[in-house]
Amino acid sequence: MPKVTVIPPTLNKFTGVRTAETKKRRVAGYARVSTDSDEQATSYEAQMDYYSSFIRGRPDWEFVKVYADEGISGLGTKNRPGFNEMMSDALDGKIDLILTKSISRFARNTVDTLTAVRKLKEKGVEIWFEKENIQTFDSKGELFITIMSSLAQEESRSISENVTWGKRKAFADGKIYIPYKRFLGYRRGADDLPEIVPEEAETVKRIYDMFLYGMTPGAIAKQLTAEEIKTPGGKDRWQSSTVQSILTNEKYRGDAILQKTFTVDFLTKKSKKNEGEVQQYHVENSHPAIINPVVFDRVQAEIERRKQIGRKYSGSSVFSSRLICGECGEYYGPKVWNSTDKYRHTVWQCNGKFSGDAKCSTPHLTEEEIQDRFMKAYSSLIERKETLIEDLKLMQETLCDCSEIDARINKLRAEKNVVENLMLECVKNSGDDYEKEFSEYNDRFEKLTSQIREAGKMKEKRNAKAAAIGGFMFELSENGCNLTEFDPRLWIDVIDTAKVMPSGEIVFRFVNGAEVTA
């Protein structure tokens, strides 16, 4: 019978250290708490003290460091400087063993946990999860880690879903949230309701006024910066995007649209703009308004009008991008004549007058001439304002009826949900024709998303037109038949375009579609 002699290992298969050697293991601790609350801060300090004392109390261990992340979520490793520093030092051969409280403290993402464990294992670095009593060099370690990490990940999913449900329940109850530290015009008042800050509200009103008088968001930002008015975030320099945000935020009219963004993935916490993927909540009269709803709607209509004009829009005057050459279709622009002497004055003429082979025959006009013609055209229009207002009400009701568009959007969303479920089933089954099948579903999904977006834009345009007509009706009801003074705000509210003809006549087209020649 053959004789078998067992030869014991002389090297540790993970660390490479000779088993007979009594070399001390270099040990580090890792601690993490996920919020900045006082209670968690105490836990954070306790973990730091515990690992320092525990490691130093072992004669066969050499203390390296306690790595820590405070007030940071464990769902990912990208933004965890303490964790990343520990991994870097361990992979550089500075650590032999890492102690941590539990798998959920280490990471709540299964992929991140296993990736880190395997990287460290390859470099001979062991992890000891105290709560679960798992050591990664144990033969059963990886199986336990996989199971426990999955449970931790599901716990994170459950917490995320509970938080999301809580937010949506608050939305459905009409509870609004305003980031007061970065929101101009409001502060937290009694019962957590928004309260107007008078001096800041005046700045908001000025922004709306300047915009309606023709200024662009960029020009408004420069003006506010020059006047040393602080931004919503307390900075000295205004950006056009900040002004644009104030001009389009419905909270200034006393309403609130909730769930404008949503979280796409609870692991990455990536969020995106809600373009119809999840429901929104429109809370009317949720708090005191700074901007009159009529004025707010006028601004939205003007924003839409400027979008359609595109880069050609100029904010130099209320006449910019509204006066059109009746011969070549170019916009009229201001030109300074006799700029160096006492006869200096500004006239408006076709921007393309001298750009073609033959110059346009449309005349130049002074601002006084434009204003006088406008007042005559408007006065002739409102002589029959009672009948006109009735026609406008009917037109507005027709535009505001978006039931067909809403029905189409709901149908498209339902179909999109079906396609999304089919995509999930396709991923789970992973058949022979997986790639082709998934690609077809994905194309349908993208097409439906695009159709929902386009239908939403159509609805926005109808609402903007209805708002413009509402502003026109308001001006008609407020003004008498004879205007004695030019009002820039009235011009902006009621005029769509003013076409200058070669004869010198101006054809004024009002927002309701009516045309009057003066």
DSSP 174-188: T-----GGG-TTEEE
- Closest by CA position to 62, among listed 32, 88, 95: 95
Beta-strand ranges (E) seen in 91-166 are 97-100, 126-129, 134-135
Q: Which of 104, 132, 160 is the last residue of a domain?
A: 160
Instruction: Express the helix, strand and coil content of the chain in percent, nearest 5 each.
Output: 50, 15, 35
Q: Identify whether residues 152 and 202 lie together within a single domain.
A: no
Q: Identify whether residues 442 and 471 lie together within a single domain.
A: yes
pLDDT at 39: 46
Scored b (16 or more CB within 10 A) or e, 408-421 reads bbeebbeebeebee
pLDDT at 171: 44
Residue 102's contacts (CB-CB under 8 Å, 6 or more residues apart) are: 129, 130, 131, 132
Position 447 in a domain: yes
72 contacts 34 by C-beta, under 8 angstroms: yes
CATH of the domain at 233: 3.90.1750.20
195 contacts 186 by C-beta, under 8 angstroms: yes
One-letter amino acid of 323 = L
Position 7 in a domain: no
Q: Per the structure block, which two tokens stand in for 113?
A: 């946990």
Q: Identify whether residues 374 and 507 lie together within a single domain.
A: yes
Q: Identify whether residues 146 and 188 lie together within a single domain.
A: no
Position 316 in a domain: no
Position 12 in a domain: no
pLDDT at 384: 74
Q: Identify whether residues 146 and 208 lie together within a single domain.
A: no
What is the chain's pLDDT, residue by residue, as a tens digit (518 residues)?
666 665 666 555 544 555 545 578 999 999 887 654 444 445 677 878 888 889 999 988 999 999 988 755 444 455 688 888 999 999 999 999 999 988 777 775 666 777 788 788 888 899 998 887 888 887 666 666 666 556 555 555 555 555 544 454 544 455 666 778 888 998 888 777 788 899 999 999 999 988 888 788 999 999 999 999 999 988 999 999 999 999 988 888 888 776 656 554 444 456 666 655 556 666 777 788 898 887 888 788 788 878 877 666 666 677 877 888 988 888 888 888 766 666 777 888 888 887 767 788 899 898 899 988 988 888 887 777 777 777 777 877 777 788 888 889 889 988 988 888 888 777 667 666 777 887 888 888 888 888 888 888 888 778 777 777 777 777 767 665 566 788 877 787 778 889 999 998 999 988 777 888 88
Position 395 in a domain: yes
CATH of the domain at 64: 3.40.50.1390
pLDDT at 152: 54
Position 19 in a domain: no
275 contacts 452 by C-beta, under 8 angstroms: yes
One-letter amino acid of 84 = N
Position 476 in a domain: yes
Classify strands 61-70 and 97-100 as parallel, antiparallel or unpaired.
Answer: unpaired
Residue for token pair 């060099």: 137
List the domain range (segments joined by +) for residue 434: 369-517
Q: Identify whether residues 136 and 184 lie together within a single domain.
A: no
Position 263 in a domain: yes
Q: Identify whether residues 105 and 198 lie together within a single domain.
A: no
pLDDT at 144: 66
pLDDT at 61: 92
Q: Identify whether residues 214 and 101 lie together within a single domain.
A: no
Q: Identify whether residues 103 and 42 lie together within a single domain.
A: yes
> What's the distance, CA 190 to chain centroid?
28
In angstroms, what CA-CA distances link 158 with 23, 78, 153, 297, 381? 45, 22, 9, 41, 63
- What gap in Å lies between CA 48 and CA 43, rounded to an integer? 9
Q: Identify whether residues 378 and 438 lie together within a single domain.
A: yes
Q: Identify whether residues 507 and 404 lie together within a single domain.
A: yes
- What gap in Å lies between CA 108 and CA 122, rounded to an integer? 22
Q: Which of 291, 317, 352 is the last residue of a domain?
A: 291
Q: Which of 257, 291, 325 is the last residue of a domain?
A: 291
Q: How many domains does the chain have?
A: 3
Scored b (16 or more CB within 10 A) or e, 260-292 reads eebeeebbeeeeeeeebeeeebebeebbebbbe
Q: Identify whether residues 141 and 202 lie together within a single domain.
A: no
475 contacts 512 by C-beta, under 8 angstroms: no
Handedness of CA 249, 472, 214, 304 (dihedral sign): positive
Beta-strand ranges (E) seen in 204-276 are 256-258, 261-265, 270-273
CB atoms within 10 A of CB 8: 6
pLDDT at 10: 56
- What gap in Å lies between CA 400 and CA 411, rounded to an integer? 20
